[in-house]
Amino acid sequence: MQCSDDYPFMLVNIQALRFIAALLVVLYHASAHLGVAGQAAGPLFAFGRAAGFAGVDIFFVISGFIMVWTTPESSGPADAWSFMRRRVARIYSGYWPFYAIAIALFTWLGGTYLTGVSWLGSLFLWPTPLPDLLIPVSWTLIFEMVFYVLFAVLIAIAGRRRAWWLTGLLAAMLGWAAYTQFVRHAYDPGRLELMSIYEQYLAFPYLLEFLAGALLAIRCLRRPGASSAWGWGLLLAGAALFAAGGWLNESGIAGRLIQGYFVNVRVAVFGSASLLIVAGLVRLEQAGVRFPPRLGIPAGGSSYALYLSHTLVLAATNHLGFDRWAGGLSPVVAQGAYVGLIGLIVGYSLLHHQVLERPLHRSFRRLLRVRAPASTPRDRRWVAG
């Protein structure tokens, strides 16, 4: 989703993982269009249909991790305000251009795309029902904003005792998730729909993934030493659990794991898998094993644009008849056509990031007087309270 603007703190493996996570979400939505075309999914798109949506869970774990990783010594209201300015500059500079593009695109497409849109909620990423969002995938950015505010509060009031606060919040959220699942039965069909929009964003189980990622960063900063064997083990275990989650979704519950009724199962499976994957990649990088920076950094940088642009491109190409055209092809050729379309979306995202997103981000940083951090976690030790 987002690429880190804190370049001195950059982890190349995590940048590459951002791109993979965005690509998983693209595969998920492209597989739906392949189905609309009446074509068989094939192995690649079948995996995308079964587990691609969980790229979002990877994003959430990464976001929690990066918030701690880039602010190891931040403490007090001034640092909290600086953190929020950096995050506001990053998220809106990347999102608002697509907000404008979506308005223009949906006006051209006509139909019901703009019916019932919450314009201000969509613009400022305020808690908004999914059907009322201009860009439906932006619901994840609302969760990002919620956790940014929470983390800024922790910087302001907890300082270097954030580890204790984060642990307490994780325990409280686990308790709340269990209570809402087994006592309130709040995630049952017919009852989930009655949950207030604020509870859906401020106390939903996805926040567990942010908190777990944040605590993982604390662990990695405190104990940076790691062997590559340990990193590979964590990575492979996470990948295996991720694949198992896809199998569970496809074979066990008929693809319904994406529904809110199964959110606790989703977080338990894909959140845990994402945590293991992030831990493995960080430990590998700490051991000197990393993705080639010339590929990983630009790919990770484009992940935000890739995430926000792909549903718009898929809607536009569907309107132009791409899905209908693909329906007349052989299954293998049709699958190849969608792979080619994904390649075009990736290419556009790389170009968008370089030509528009990065300059606009620099302008936002200047406007908000945001300064880049001066040193890396490698130069500083996490001090726990």
Write out pLDDT tens, residues 47-94.
Answer: 999 999 999 999 999 999 999 999 988 899 999 999 999 999 999 999
Q: What was the pLDDT predicted at 227? A: 83
Q: What was the pLDDT predicted at 111? A: 85
Radius of gyration over every alpha carbon of the chain, rounded to an integer in angstroms: 20
Q: What was the pLDDT predicted at 370? A: 84
- Record the pTM: 0.94
Burial 133-158 (b: 16+ CB within 10 A, else e): bbbebbbbbbbbbbbbebbbebbbeb
* Residues 42/328, Cβ–Cβ less than 8 Å: no
Q: Helices (H), strands (E): how many in the chain?
A: 17, 0
Q: How many CB atoms lie within 10 A of CB 50?
A: 23
Of all residues in the chain, the percent with pLDDT exceeding 90 is: 88
What string of DSSP letters covers 53-101?
GGHHHHHHHHHHHHHHHT-TT--SHHHHHHHHHHHHHHHHHHHHHHHHH
Quick: pLDDT tens for 215-258.
999 999 988 877 899 999 999 999 999 999 999 999 999 999 99
Dihedral, CA atoms, 271, 275, 276, 280, nearest 10 degrees?
Answer: 150
* Separation CA 93–CA 365 (nearest Å): 9
The DSSP output letter for 4 is P
* Separation CA 262–CA 370 (nearest Å): 40
Dihedral, CA atoms, 231, 66, 5, 224, nearest 10 degrees?
Answer: -50
* Separation CA 21–CA 16 (nearest Å): 9
Q: CA angle, 115 as apex, 110 and 118 as ends, to 5°?
A: 130
* Residues 60/210, Cβ–Cβ less than 8 Å: yes
* Residues 213/63, Cβ–Cβ less than 8 Å: yes
Amino acid letter for position 347: G
Q: What was the pLDDT predicted at 373? A: 54
* Residues 11/376, Cβ–Cβ less than 8 Å: no
Tokens found for residue 278: 């992030």
Give 10-residue mean pLDDT values along the chain (385 residues). 50 97 98 96 96 98 96 91 94 98 96 94 97 97 96 90 94 97 95 94 96 96 85 97 97 93 97 98 94 94 97 97 97 97 98 96 92 49 30
Q: How many CB atoms lie within 10 A of CB 235?
A: 22
For residue 192, what are the CA distances in angstroms to 82, 200, 268, 322? Answer: 37, 9, 19, 36
